[in-house]
């Protein structure tokens, strides 16, 4: 997925192998998506990845949903 339009995500060559990261962190966006089906944004932010807000998690999940490839 291309995250280049998301204000909460960045990609920096050489940082975490060039993965899309939560801006200002070393947290890959894929790590948030991995937990999204089982946990709330509040749980993801407080139990797994302290230092990011539930609101950032919500915005990342909304962006992912809005930009997901269409199913066949």
Query: CB–CB of 60/32 below 8 Å?
Result: yes
Instruction: Give the integer Cα–Cα distance in Å for 52 and 50.
Output: 6
Answer yes or no: is 72 within a domain: no
**Residues in contact with 54: Cβ distance below 8 Å, sequence separation at least 6, in sequence order:** 40, 41, 42, 44, 45, 46
Answer yes or no: is 19 within a domain: yes
CATH number of the domain enclosing 47: 1.10.10
What are the φ/ψ torsions at residue 22 (nearest 5 degrees)? Answer: -65, 130
The single-letter DSSP state of residue 22 is E
Answer yes or no: is 2 within a domain: no
The reported pLDDT for the residue numbered 72 is 54
The reported pLDDT for the residue numbered 8 is 96
Per-residue pLDDT of the chain (72 residues), as tens digits, is 899 999 999 999 999 999 999 999 999 999 999 999 999 999 999 988 888 999 999 999 999 999 987 765
Answer yes or no: is 3 within a domain: no
Q: How far is CA 49 from CA 5, 57, 70, in A?
A: 23, 10, 29
Instruction: Work out how many domains the chain is built from and give that number.
Output: 1
Answer yes or no: is 45 within a domain: yes
């Amino acid at each position: 997925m291309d995250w280049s339009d998301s204000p909460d995500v960045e990609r920096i060559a050489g940082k975490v192998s060039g993965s899309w990261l939560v801006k200002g962190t070393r947290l890959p966006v894929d790590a948030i998506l991995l937990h999204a089906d089982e946990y709330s944004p509040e749980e993801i932010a407080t139990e797994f990845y302290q230092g990011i807000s539930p609101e950032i998690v919500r915005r990342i999940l909304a962006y992912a949903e809005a930009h997901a490839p269409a199913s066949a």
